[in-house]
């Protein structure tokens, strides 16, 4: 394997809740190579989404180390993590998480504006065109269907041409046909930008399209499989 773009060593995540300390993730060691597509599968509560959040710097590890593009995420503060995401990552969520007060175009343009692109809106229009939403640029999230919202979210994640795409059950809230369309779009984007893709899914079909699949159980890596297996 060439130098991994994502590398976790004994990464752990524990949360203190009302019921006491809960270990969400334990001793996760994992490398993801550039251009690889990694699927994270496992039963509900196994820690898939938490692992994705750790990789994205959206959650702080309580143990071990996480390196992304050579940088130790555990040593970065909130703003440094935000800058790292801006530079390298796009994230897609199951619930889309579009900003409700912004139109589709504005949502997509936001990361480009943050990165200081002068042509943010022109590029955002291109991205929306690429996901088939040229006609919805001026619409607010509440005025769009779930499938459309997820396409806007995909466009937003891919607009800055990220080296790493993180997707948390991107088809989880969609019906079969919308889900398939989003899956095609997601893989198409990965191919277009030669990005590394890490996705959490319950879908066997989606997992089958990954280069590698990791199965989690009780916060630990249970199996590390090639997709074909």
Partner 1 sequence: MSLRLAARLARRELRGGIRGFRIFLACLALGVAAIAAVGTVRASIEAGLEQEGAALLGGDAELDFTYRFATPEERAWMRDNASDVSEIVDFRSMAVAERDGQTERGLTQVKSVDDAYPLVGAVGLSPDMTLEAALAGKNGRPGAVMDQLLIDRMALNVGDEFALGTQQYILMAALLAEPDGAAGGFGLGPRTIVATQSLAQSGLLAPGSLYSSKYRLLLPPDVDISALEDQAKARFENSGLRWSDARNGAPGVAEFVDRLGAFLVLVGLSGLAVGGVGVSAAVRAYLAGKTSVIATLRTLGADRATLFQTYFIQVGALSLFGIAIGLVLGGAIPVLLAPLIESRLPIPAVFTLYPAPLMEAAIYGVLTALIFTLWPLARIGEVRAATLFRDALSGAKLLPPFRYLAIIALGLATLIVLAGWFSGTWRLTLWTAGGIAAALLILSVAAGAVRWCARRGGRALRNRPVFRWALSAIGGTGEGAVSVVLSLGLGLSVLATVGQIDGNLRNAISGQLPEVAPSYFFVDIQKDQMEGYAARLEDDPSVRRVESAPMLRGVITGINGQPARDIAGDHWVLQGDRGVTYSDQPPNNTRITDGAWWPQDYTGPPQVSFAAEEAQEMGLKLGDMLTINILGRDITATISSFREVDFSTAGIGFILSMNPAALSGAPHTFISTVYAAPEAEAAILRDLSTRYPNITAIRVRDAIDRVADLMAGLAAATSYGAAATLLTGFLVLIGAAAAGEGARTYEAAILKTLGASRGRILRSFALRSAILGAAAGAVALVAGIAGGWAVSAYVMDTSFTVIWPSALSIIIGGVCATLLASLAFAMRSLSARPAHILRAKE
Chain contacts with partner 1 (rule: CB under 8 A): 49-50, 53, 56, 58-60, 78-79, 82-83, 85-87, 91, 93-95, 97-102, 106, 109-111, 113-118, 120-121, 140, 142, 156
Task: Write down the least CB distance from residue 195 to partner 1, Å.
Answer: 16
Evaluate whether 181 touches 147 at the Cβ level (below 8 Å): yes
Closest approach of partner 1 to the CB of residue 155, in Å: 13
Q: Which two tokens stand for residue 21?
A: 């300390």
Distances (CA, A) of 5 to 2, 192, 195, 218, 219: 9, 18, 10, 25, 22
**CB-nearer residue toward partner 1: 58 or 227:** 58
* 159 and 124 Cβ atoms separated by less than 8 Å: yes
Angle between helices 120-130 and 146-158 (to 10 degrees): 130
Tell me how far, at minimum, the Cβ of 163 lies from partner 1, in Å.
13
Nearer to partner 1, 64 or 111 (CB): 111
Which strands, in side-by-side order, build the sheet including 196-200?
A: 89-92, 164-168, 196-200, 37-41, 212-217, 220-226
Nearer to partner 1, 156 or 212 (CB): 156
> Cβ closer to partner 1: 70 or 116?
116
Q: Least CB distance from residue 82 to partner 1, whole Å?
A: 5
């Amino acid at each position: 394997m060439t130098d991994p773009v994502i590398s976790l060593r004994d990464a752990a995540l524990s949360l203190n809740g009302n019921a006491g300390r809960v270990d969400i993730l334990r001793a996760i060691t994992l490398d993801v190579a550039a251009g690889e597509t990694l699927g994270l599968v496992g039963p509900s509560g196994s820690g898939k989404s938490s692992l994705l959040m750790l990789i994205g710097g959206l959650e702080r590890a309580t143990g071990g180390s996480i390196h992304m593009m050579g940088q130790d995420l555990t040593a970065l503060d909130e703003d440094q993590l935000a800058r790292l995401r801006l530079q390298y990552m796009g994230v897609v969520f199951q619930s889309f998480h579009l900003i409700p007060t912004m139109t589709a175009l504005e949502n997509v343009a936001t990361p480009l504006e943050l990165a200081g692109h002068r042509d943010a809106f022109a590029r955002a229009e291109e991205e929306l065109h690429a996901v088939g939403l040229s006609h919805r640029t001026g619409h607010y999230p509440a005025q769009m269907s779930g499938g459309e919202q997820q396409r806007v979210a995909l466009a937003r994640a891919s607009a800055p041409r990220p080296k790493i795409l993180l997707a948390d059950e991107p088809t989880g809230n969609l019906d079969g046909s919308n889900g398939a369309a989003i899956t095609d779009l997601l893989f198409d984007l990965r191919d277009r930008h030669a990005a590394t893709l890490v996705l959490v899914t319950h879908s066997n079909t989606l997992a089958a399209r990954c280069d590698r699949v990791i199965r989690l159980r009780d916060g630990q890596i249970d199996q590390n499989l090639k997709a074909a297996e």
